[in-house]
């Protein structure tokens, strides 16, 4: 692990800003491996160093993994001048940790969103080459039929010529409004909505239920989040 500046390691806990961390060092309140720290610029390995502030040992381990049940009306971004983002749903301590959402859900889409500071994991889950399944619940206007499932399996070509990979459409209820599960291995812009619209079945509601080995915890109300359990982290290899 590359070494990082002391003030950066302290700030990564989300409890102090870099400026506050420097001040703590100046005030002699920071112990590094048992000795008073003198310079915020000194570099250490965050995975192994022991840092105490006012006698409290900090948890400086990298790797924060949160499962959020994204509500409709919130943007999947870290910052966006156009409105509230998923970061606004987190307490201050998490907002300072450099977390970001793994992939995007549309503003009106709900459901499973992983927030992390682990860029390598995000790449693993999002790279088209890794073929990670994403499962969505969709409610559409119109009667879904077997022909729609066959078209999804064959690979839908969208209006702009984009050819989608084979996908699974599993009809749950069929009527004037229908419900289905859609499983994709890619994540193009508005993909589920565009695929269903191309079959004349516009999406009325969309919710992501699964991403690779992670399943949405249905006890999380929209807008609620929790840290991944050790079992969930293990499934992600973390
Ligand atoms: N497909 C969509 O159309 N929207 C989403 O938010 C996710 C997948």
Kindly report, residue by residue over 158-172, the tens digit of the pLDDT. Answer: 988 999 999 999 999
The yes-or-no verdict on residue 12 having pLDDT over 90 is no
**pTM, whole model, 2 decimals?**
0.82
**C-alpha–C-alpha distance, residues 175 and 192, integer Å:** 19
pLDDT mean over 183-200? 95
pLDDT mean over 184-201? 95
The yes-or-no verdict on residue 1 having pLDDT over 70 is no
Distance from the CA of 190 to the center of ligand 1, in angstroms? 4
Q: What is the pLDDT of residue 194?
A: 97
Mean pLDDT of the chain: 93
Distance from the CA of 217 to the center of ligand 1, in angstroms? 19
Distance from the CA of 105 to the center of ligand 1, in angstroms? 6
Q: What is the pLDDT of residue 205?
A: 98
| Ligand 1 atom having least distance to the Cα of 193 | 3
In angstroms, the first-to-last Cα distance of the chain is 15
Backbone angles phi, psi at 154, to 5 degrees: -75, -25
> Would you list the domain boundaries of the chain?
4-57, 65-128+214-235, 133-211
β-bridge mates for residue 179, sequence order: 139, 173
Of 78-87, 101-110, 189-198, give the lowest mean pLDDT range: 78-87
Q: What is the pLDDT of residue 98?
A: 82
Distance from the CA of 194 to the center of ligand 1, in angstroms? 9
The sign of the torsion formed by the CA atoms of 164, 135, 130, 168 equals: negative
Report the run of H or E that residue 111 belongs to, with start and end: strand 110-116
pLDDT mean over 192-213? 97
| Ligand 1 atom having least distance to the Cα of 105 | 6
pLDDT one-digit tens code per residue, 106-163 = 999 999 999 998 888 888 898 878 889 999 999 999 999 999 999 999 999 998 899 9
For the segment(s) 133-211, the CATH number from 3.90.45.10, 3.30.980.10, 3.30.70.1560, 3.40.190.10 is 3.30.70.1560
The percent of residues above 70 in pLDDT, for the chain, comes to: 99
The yes-or-no verdict on residue 202 having pLDDT over 90 is yes
For the segment(s) 65-128+214-235, the CATH number from 3.30.1330.10, 3.30.70.580, 3.30.1450.10, 2.60.40.1930 is 3.30.70.580
The sign of the torsion formed by the CA atoms of 9, 11, 65, 126 equals: negative
CATH number of the structural domain 4-57: 3.10.290.10
Residue whose pair of structure tokens reads 């879904």 in the numeric block? 144
Pocket test for ligand 1, best of 76, 104, 105 (most atoms within 8 A of CB): 105
pLDDT mean over 225-237? 93
Of 40-44, 91-95, 153-157, 182-186, give the lowest mean pLDDT range: 91-95
Q: What is the pLDDT of residue 118?
A: 87
> How many residues in the chain?
238
Domains 4-57 and 133-211 share a fold: no
- CB of 13 within 6 A of ligand 1: the answer is no
Distance from the CA of 4 to the center of ligand 1, in angstroms? 37
CA 23 to chain centroid, in Å, comes to 33
Q: Is 106 a catalytic residue?
A: yes
Q: Which residue has the higher pLDDT, 183 or 93?
A: 183
| Ligand 1 atom having least distance to the Cα of 203 | 3
Q: Which of 80, 106, 108, 117 is catalytic?
A: 106
User: Which of 22, 38, 101, 37 is CA-nearest to residue 65?
Assistant: 101
Pocket test for ligand 1, best of 136, 167, 184 (most atoms within 8 A of CB): 136
């Amino acid at each position: 692990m590359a070494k990082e500046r002391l003030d950066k390691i302290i700030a990564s806990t989300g409890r102090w800003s870099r400026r506050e961390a420097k001040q703590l060092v100046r005030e002699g309140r920071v112990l590094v491996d048992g000795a008073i720290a003198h310079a915020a610029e000194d570099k250490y390995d965050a995975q192994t160093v022991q840092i105490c502030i006012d006698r409290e040992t900090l948890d400086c381990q990298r790797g924060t993994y949160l499962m959020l049940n994204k509500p409709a009306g919130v943007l999947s971004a870290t910052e966006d001048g156009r409105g509230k983002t998923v970061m606004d749903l987190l307490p201050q301590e998490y907002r300072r940790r450099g977390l970001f959402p793994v992939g995007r859900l549309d503003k009106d889409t709900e459901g499973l969103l992983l927030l992390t500071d682990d860029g390598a994991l995000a790449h693993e889950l999002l790279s088209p080459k890794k073929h990670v399944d994403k499962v969505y619940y969709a409610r559409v206007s119109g009667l879904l039929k077997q022909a729609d499932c066959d078209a999804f399996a064959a690979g839908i070509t969208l209006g702009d010529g984009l050819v989608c990979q084979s996908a699974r459409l599993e009809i749950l209820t069929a009527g004037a409004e229908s419900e289905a599960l859609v499983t994709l291995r890619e994540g193009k812009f508005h993909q589920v909505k565009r695929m269903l619209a191309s079959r004349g079945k516009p999406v009325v509601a969309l919710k992501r239920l699964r991403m690779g080995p992670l399943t949405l915890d249905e006890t999380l109300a929209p807008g609620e989040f929790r840290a991944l359990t050790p079992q969930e982290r293990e499934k992600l290899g973390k």
